[in-house]
Amino acid sequence: MVKRYFRPEIELLSRDALKELQFKRLKKIINKVYNLVPHYREKFKRAGVKPSNLKSLEDIRLFPFTTREDLFVDYPFGLLAEPLEKVVRLHTSSGTTGKPKALFFSKEDIKAQAELIARSLVMSGATASDILQNSMTYGLFTGALVMHYGAELLGMLVIPAGPGNTERQIELMQTFGTTCIHMTPSYALYVATIIQERGIRPGIDIKLKRAYLGAEPYSEETRRKIETMLKVEVYNCYGLSEMGGPGVGFECPAKDGLHIWEDAFLVEVVNPNTGEPLNPGEVGELVLTTLNRTAMPLIRYRTKDLTTLLEGPCHCGRTHIKIARILGRADDMFIVRGVNIFPQQIEGVLMSIKGVAQNYQIILEGYDEMTIKVEIDREFFDGRIERILKLREEITERLRQALQVRPKVELVEPGTLPISEGKAKRVIDKRVL
């Protein structure tokens, strides 16, 4: 089973051959949307391009971007490239800022995305003998179901735990010998803390080997903290509903970037303000084009995720391009006293300081004031106020050095701040601007 989902003829393809495969698929998908999706046909005409203008991969830059707003034109079926009777599944975004984005999948789309997950899991070392506890949200989100299908395709036993009920999560791990977990990083950190507090011994009382974390940006320091607490290998998993869910990008054991499966996606990184292409090493917005989606192909979709392309061969031997860990979303960035700040920058500092627990919250209020509430280890609340004051000063100074802004830091006991079982809400903006 594992051999079936290690695809050397694809994963180890030479760069020239991979680009040839991409161009062949890109021409097909551009023609399809032009002929079958009126919205794209009109969009291309306004940009002055036709499928015949595509003579090389680089010519994709002639074609217009697809944005979130395009998904609401003729909502909900306006971007379908197949008859509705060939569509078998609907997923949506959260819709927290308005009506949710509607994403449609054919049988072929579901199978293709499951195969990308199976390929990714094999790359991490998983086999059919592993047991995956899937603690992402089941339902309209893609995260849980897509991972579930891919893991089953590989032959893994899947426990569809869903998020929350942490005591039950730990009980399932102990009872059934869970070897792999799929969670958000913030929830994984919380689960690791409870395991530690209960005196449960990773490697002895629970048998975890790997943690697949995604759905929200997180820092390298958070990865190391989870790896240390749970004695697991943490793999960064990237995806978004518009591209089919998780499995778009995945880390190999080298852990120096995420491979984007280029037989399924054409990758660009552009300046988020101008849309101009950026060189490897330059931070910009990730833009993706689906190359084998049938029901709802997307051309040059602006993900709003900020990253950079990584050049050079990978130690694992795979030739598919890598991106750096997601820095954050373009709309996650906030400005305090003229300084651009991402929550992940703050997280990286906090998780590298001894004594900091798993949770924190950033509160923006007044006229550009920033307060960071930080949970710290329970042992600090032992009556020795000087220890708390010393830790608070260390956190404040480290943040000042990293951000060039001096925040107000409040230290609180573990369990004080709200726990997120899905995507963590780190920033509360109450400013009068």
Helix (H), strand (E), coil (C) string for 54-114: CCCHHHHHHCCCECHHHHHCCCCCCCCCCCHHHEEEEEECCCCCCCCCEEEEEHHHHHHHH
Mean pLDDT over residues 157-174, rounded? 96
User: What's the pLDDT at 328?
Assistant: 84
% helix, strand, coil for the chain, step of 5: 35, 25, 40
Please count the residues of the chain. 433
pLDDT surpasses 60 at 421: yes
User: What's the pLDDT at 384?
Assistant: 76
Q: Is 334-431 in the same CATH topology as 1-329?
A: no
Cα distance between residue 365 and residue 421, in whole Å:
26
Q: Under CATH, which number does the domain 1-329 receive?
A: 3.40.50.12780
pLDDT surpasses 80 at 427: yes
In 214-300 the beta strands, taken as DSSP E runs, fall at 233-240, 245-251, 258-260, 265-270, 284-290
What are the structural domain ranges in the chain?
Answer: 1-329, 334-431
Mean pLDDT over residues 184-213, rounded? 95
Of 136-140, 387-391, 428-432, the poorest mean pLDDT is in: 428-432
* Sequence-ordered list of residues with C-beta below 8 angstroms from that of 67, at least 6 positions apart, any chain: 301, 302
Task: Find out whether 319 and 14 touch, Cβ atoms under 8 Å.
Answer: yes
Domain 334-431 fold is GMP Synthetase; Chain A, domain 3 (3.30.300)
User: What's the pLDDT at 383?
Assistant: 66
- Reported as a single tens digit per residue, the pLDDT across 239-253 is 999 999 999 999 999
pLDDT confidence bin for 426, thresholds 50/70/90: confident
pLDDT confidence bin for 331, thresholds 50/70/90: confident
- Reported as a single tens digit per residue, the pLDDT across 76-108 is 999 999 999 999 999 997 654 568 899 999 999
pLDDT confidence bin for 386, thresholds 50/70/90: confident
Give the percent of the chain with pLDDT over 70.
97
Mean pLDDT over residues 157-182, rounded? 96
Cα distance between residue 38 and residue 41, in whole Å:
5
Mean pLDDT over residues 371-397, rounded? 87
- Reported as a single tens digit per residue, the pLDDT across 23-80 is 999 999 999 999 999 999 999 999 999 999 999 999 999 999 999 999 999 999 999 9
